[in-house]
Amino acid sequence: MLNISNNQLNKKVTLDGYVASSKAFKPRHYKIFNRFLLVFAFVMLVFLFLPWTQNVSGKGFVTTLALGQRPQTIQSPIPGRIERWFVQEGDFVKKGDTILFISEIKNEYQDPQLVKRTEQQRDAKSRSVVSYQNKIGALENQVSALENERALKLSQAKNKLAQSYLKVKSDSIDFQAAKTNIEIAERQYNRTLTLQKEGLKAVIDVEAKRLKLRETQAKLVSQENKLLVSRNEVINAQLEINRVTAAYADKIAKSQSDRYTAESGQFEAEAQVSKLESQATNYQMRNAMYYITAPQDGYINKAIRGGIGETFKEGEKIVGIMPANYKLAVETFVNPIDLPLIHLGEEVRIQFDGWPAIFFSGWPNASFGTYAGKIVAIETFISANGKFRVLIAPDDEQVAWPKNMRVGSGANTISLLEDVPVWFEIWRQLNGFPPNYYQPEGKETNKSKK
């Protein structure tokens, strides 16, 4: 009763005669309630000074520790059409087992004898290389023969030049002798003419000497002509040497040009042979890609492209596979404000979806059904969901994680921080402050060390 009425019934009506009032207004009830309040206040006071472990919670999922052990999809590096499946979803396959067979859809690769014909083209070009090599050898022999012939011709021409020089020398001597003879003939003629005028010689002697003089003059002219002819032969011999040198230089240059042309053709043919060999190898490797095999031991999860005759592009996902051997880890995400509180090697408690657990946030030792882990990696760049990614591995020194845990299962993570009193944690939560920023033991900053 609020007693707000002017007619107060408690002053006019007595409750002593009622059984309920006698039971409700006994002094013993107040004593029990007061004792309860005192005990409760004492318990709450003690509770406020109990240790509370600060923590950072996160939501993530189960993954694998090694990158090569995570679920993956198998793609085809070439476009094709599905012809036959060798597995079903859920089957276990070993590394190298055939999963499916595909066929070619591009026109330039549909020839069943493509590799064989390419190898035939390569062999033909290889024989062309041999032909060029033989031609180069023949041209080298031709150049050697021309050089030898040029040496012989030059030797012959030089010998002829030497003979011409000797003949010029001989004719020059004869010419000088003819000059001497004509001087003698002139003196004899003049002497005989003088003696004839004095009457000592007959006219016939004078005529004989005049004839002798004329013959000597004729011989002089003949010797001079021979000398000029010999000199002309020297010039001709020199011209012959120049002609032989020029002629054989032209022939040798032409042979060398043909050789260089043959070498160029050989190099081009060798390049084509190498290209054809590469094409043949690529075609063989492409034929091997028609059989899509398992990259590692695992289980076929899902056929992304099913059916027979269905086409796909290169790099398109065809089937998913889960590796058989893997080591579990947990991938969780924390808010950016909590990132400075996360350090490598710190302990984390994990609650897996589907596994019963009783968890007390501030008292991890009193929790049941949670598993221990250690932080092994912290992402340095924010994820698409606006949080930072943290990778947690199992703690081998504590209880092992469940064996039947599957990759992709959900997980709640609790990163354990400092121990503080309960009253401090309540005060922090009411004020919206973050947990205490701290540095784990053995990881002091350089500034603190100094």
Tokens matching residue 220: 């002089």
What share of the chain in percent tops pLDDT 90?
14
Of 268, 300, 322, the residue that ends a domain is 322
Query: How far apart, in Å, are the Cα atoms of 236 and each of 225, 242, 246?
Result: 16, 10, 15
For 81-112, how does the pLDDT look when each residue is reduced to its tens digit (9 = 90+)? 999 999 998 899 999 999 999 999 888 888 88
Which pLDDT score is estimated for 99? 93
Please give the C-alpha separations between residue 402 and each of 58, 271, 352, 371, 376, in angstroms, as whole numbers: 20, 61, 9, 9, 20
Both 132 and 273 in one domain: the answer is yes
pLDDT at 226 over 90: no
In this structure, the answer to whether residues 301 and 377 fall within a common structural domain is no
Residue 427 has pLDDT above 80, yes or no: no
What single-letter amino acid sits at 392?
I
Q: How many separate domains does the chain show?
A: 3
pLDDT digits (tens, 9 = 90+) for 371-381: 888 999 988 88
Q: Which residue has the higher pLDDT, 370 or 4?
A: 370
Cα separation, 322 vs 406, in Å, equals: 10
CATH code of residue 438: 2.40.30.170
Domain that holds residue 89: 72-98+290-322
Beta strands in 105-222 (DSSP E): none
Out of 288, 308, 334, pick the residue that ends a domain.
288
Closest among 319, 346, 327, 356 to 438, alpha carbons compared:
346
Q: Are residues 237 and 355 in the same domain?
A: no
Q: Where residue 310 sits, what CATH number does that domain have?
A: 2.40.50.100
Instruction: Tell me the one-letter amino acid at 115.
Output: V
Q: Are residues 353 and 334 in the same domain?
A: yes
User: Quick check: 219 and 178 in contact, CB under 8 A?
Assistant: yes
- Is the pLDDT at 340 greater than 60? The verdict is yes
pLDDT for the residue 3: 57
Give 286: exposed, middle or buried? Use CB within 10 Å, 0-12, 13-18, 19+.
Answer: middle
Residue 254 contacts residue 188 (beta carbons within 8 Å): no
Res 194 pLDDT > 60: yes
Judge whether residue 437 has pLDDT over 70: no
Residue 419 has pLDDT above 60, yes or no: yes
Contact 343, 323 (CB under 8 A): no
Position 432 pLDDT exceeds 60: yes
More confident of the two residues 128 and 175: 128
Instruction: Over range 391-400, report the average pLDDT.
Output: 87
Confidence check: pLDDT of 444 > 50: no
276 and 170 belong to one structural domain? yes
Range scoring the smallest mean pLDDT among 227-231, 345-349, 356-360, 420-424:
356-360
Same domain? 176 vs 275: yes
Alpha-carbon Rg for the chain in angstroms? 60
Q: What are the pLDDT digits (tens) for 53-80?
A: 666 778 889 998 888 888 899 999 899 9
- Residue the block writes with tokens 């269905």: 310
Q: Is the pLDDT of residue 309 over 80?
A: yes
pLDDT (average), residues 282-293: 90
pLDDT at 445 over 50: no
Residues 255 and 276 in one domain: yes
Check whether residue 242 and residue 295 sit in a common domain. no
How many helices and strands (H and E) does the chain possess? Answer: 7, 14
Structural element, H or E, at residue 19: helix 19-24
pLDDT exceeds 50 at position 441: yes
Judgement on whether residues 341 and 403 belong to the same structural domain of the protein: yes
**Largest CA-CA distance found in the chain, in angstroms, rounded:** 226
Mean pLDDT of the residues in the chain: 81
pLDDT reported for residue 31:
72
So what's the pLDDT on residue 368? 56
Task: Indicate yes or no: pTM above 0.75.
Answer: no
Residues 188, 241, single domain; the answer is yes
Whether residue 344 is found in the same domain as residue 438 = yes
Any domain includes 11: no
**Do residue 151 and residue 266 come from a single domain?**
yes
Distance of alpha carbon 159 from alpha carbon 58, whole angstroms: 108
